[in-house]
């Protein structure tokens, strides 16, 4: 009996082994999983996560790729977490395959040998699809490499409280055209201060007209308009160019009107100052348009609705405009070939016009390809655009098409150097304006209170001190 069933048992075992082998050979291959760290928030985060889910359910499923997205808080948190991961600090998470970052972040990791050059993964035709200035920002060493992949960009625009501008314009004859140049903005600010000062019997209590969210952009782009690259970085080494005449013009068109009370800053952002009635206009990121206030609240009991006007970012008279190029890209870190190719696959899909428009537009960011970076393409996408978003996109896309785009190239401690430059002027302006106000309160005239700060000698002292501080970052 035993011998009778032996062949049958053997046959069953053989079949089972055969099926097992077929099962092993035919089982689904483990997917290539890539992690993405970002610092997005609000609608931008929701949009990003939705697109990640869409990718996983379509192209990712087809190509056996899974993208896992992790939010790291704000950009400072993200930078700290990426650096800790790259350095292998105790308690740090593993370095992500992909993360949102700026040139300085990419440069720091590149020095550690942890950033992938994506240029070999794109054909010439694929590279040509992207806006030139957006793609070239990722070439950290000016050698044709691509260390930052563009996903969404922004520039700067002038935001104006059009409601409260109207009576001022009617009384003084100023127009929006007067705000096209930086010199024009200063003159309008002077008139606004005088106009508001005359509304009361108290002398020297006029209101500031204008402010800036990012003074460094004014200094760097303004210098560019005059032919000067302050931080001239090549191959990660910075040469400082601090021409005195150029810097003096920058000083005269920000520091001087600031200490006179024509420019100002009090809230965290200049949109906050518009909301409190402390400013009428400011230059800020095109991506900040959702934060322009719907009303001015002069105190806890008084408020009134306002309408915005969005205008081009002013430039120096007689100069070709230079537009600030802003917005983090995506940085791919070293990994297996499969992981790197999966990252590239996701980035290519993510920046396809329909996907890139869906991600960027309603948050005030610009798509990064030629096909998507047009108002016609955006409107054809079917997205519902508010009037303010339409204005922002129209002006921003026009700046991208017609203005020179500028962002500093990466160098060691580049972000610190930028902050040093910005703080040198803002700190001086704020401190000296405070002294002027004290002197005015003590009974001095405006001319007496300001005189010390308007001399060539005072500027020279500031210039030499600032130049020495910036030279510490030169190569």
Mean pLDDT of the chain: 93
- Which pLDDT score is estimated for 304? 97
- pLDDT over 90 (residue 10): no
Strongest mean pLDDT among 88-97, 353-362, 374-383: 88-97
Region 349-361 average pLDDT: 95
Handedness of CA 263, 266, 272, 276 (dihedral sign): negative
Distance of alpha carbon 148 from alpha carbon 107, whole angstroms: 10
| pLDDT bucket at 431, cuts 50 / 70 / 90 | very high
pLDDT value of position 29:
87
Q: pLDDT band at 18, cuts 50/70/90?
A: very low
pLDDT, position 343: 99
pLDDT tens per residue across span 133-184: 899 999 998 899 999 999 999 999 999 999 999 999 999 999 999 999 999 9
Superfamily holding 156-324+413-471: Periplasmic binding protein-like II (3.40.190.10)
- Of all residues in the chain, the percent with pLDDT exceeding 90 is 86
Average pLDDT of the segment spanning 15-27 = 43
**By the 8 A CB rule, do 285 and 271 touch?**
no
When pLDDT is averaged across residues 82-96 and rounded to a whole number, the result is 96
Quick check: 368 pLDDT over 50? Answer: yes
Domains of the chain, by residue range, sit at 32-154+327-406, 156-324+413-471
* pLDDT score for 16: 37
Domain boundaries 32-154+327-406, corresponding CATH code:
3.40.190.10
pLDDT tens digits for range 263-306: 999 999 999 999 999 999 999 999 999 899 999 998 888 999 99
pTM: 0.90
Burial 272-303 (b: 16+ CB within 10 A, else e): bbbbebbbbbbbbbbbbbebbbeebeeeeeee
Is the Cβ–Cβ distance between 343 and 374 less than 8 Å? Answer: no
pLDDT at 447 over 70: yes
pLDDT at 27: 57
Q: What is the pLDDT of residues 150-159, one digit of tens each?
A: 999 999 999 9
Which pLDDT band holds residue 197 (cuts at 50, 70, 90)?
A: very high
Domain 32-154+327-406 shares a fold with domain 156-324+413-471: yes
Top-confidence residue, 457 or 289: 457
């Amino acid at each position: 009996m035993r011998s009778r069933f032996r062949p049958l048992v053997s046959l069953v075992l053989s079949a089972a082994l055969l099926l097992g082998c077929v099962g092993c050979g035919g089982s689904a291959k483990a997917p290539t999983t890539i992690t993405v760290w970002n610092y997005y928030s609000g609608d931008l985060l929701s949009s990003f996560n939705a697109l990640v889910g869409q990718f996983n359910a379509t192209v990712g499923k087809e190509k056996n790729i899974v993208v896992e997205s992790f939010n790291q808080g704000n950009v400072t948190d993200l930078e700290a977490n990426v650096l800790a991961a790259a350095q292998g600090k105790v308690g740090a998470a593993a370095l992500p395959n992909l993360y949102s970052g700026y040139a300085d972040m990419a440069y720091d990791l590149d020095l550690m040998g942890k950033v992938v050059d994506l240029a070999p993964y794109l054909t010439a035709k694929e590279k040509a699809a992207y806006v030139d200035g957006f793609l070239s920002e990722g070439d950290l060493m000016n050698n044709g490499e691509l260390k930052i992949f563009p996903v969404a960009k922004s520039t700067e625009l002038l935001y104006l409280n059009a409601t409260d501008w109207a009576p001022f314009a009617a009384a003084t004859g100023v127009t929006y055209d007067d705000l096209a140049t930086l010199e024009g903005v200063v003159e309008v600010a002077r008139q606004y201060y005088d106009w508001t000062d005359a509304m009361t019997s108290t002398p020297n209590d006029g209101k500031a007209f204008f402010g800036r969210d990012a003074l460094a952009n004014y200094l760097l782009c303004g210098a560019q308009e005059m032919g000067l690259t302050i931080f001239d970085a090549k191959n990660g080494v910075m040469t400082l160019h601090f021409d005195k005449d150029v810097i003096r013009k920058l000083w005269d068109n920000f520091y001087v009107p600031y200490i006179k009370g024509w420019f100002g800053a009090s809230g965290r952002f200049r949109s906050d100052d518009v909301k409190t009635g402390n400013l009428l206009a400011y230059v800020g990121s095109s991506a900040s348009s959702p934060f322009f206030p719907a009303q001015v609240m002069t105190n806890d009991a008084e408020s009134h609705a306002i309408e915005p006007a969005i205008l081009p970012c002013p430039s120096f008279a007689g100069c070709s405009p230079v537009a600030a190029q802003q917005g983090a890209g995506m940085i791919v870190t070293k990994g297996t070939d499969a992981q790197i190719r999966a990252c590239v696959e996701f980035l290519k899909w993510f920046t396809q016009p329909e996907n890139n428009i869906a991600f960027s537009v309603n948050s005030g960011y610009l798509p990064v390809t030629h096909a998507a970076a047009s108002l016609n393409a955006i409107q054809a996408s079917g997205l519902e655009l508010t009037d303010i978003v339409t204005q922002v996109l129209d002006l921003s896309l026009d700046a991208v098409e017609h203005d020179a785009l500028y962002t500093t190239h990466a160098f060691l401690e580049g972000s610190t150097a930028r902050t040093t430059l910005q703080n040198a002027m803002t700190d001086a302006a704020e401190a000296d304006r405070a002294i002027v106000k004290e002197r005015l309160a003590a009974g001095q005239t405006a001319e007496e209170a300001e005189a010390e700060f308007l001399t060539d000698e005072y500027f020279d002292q500031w210039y030499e001190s600032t130049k020495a501080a910036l030279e510490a970052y030169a190569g």
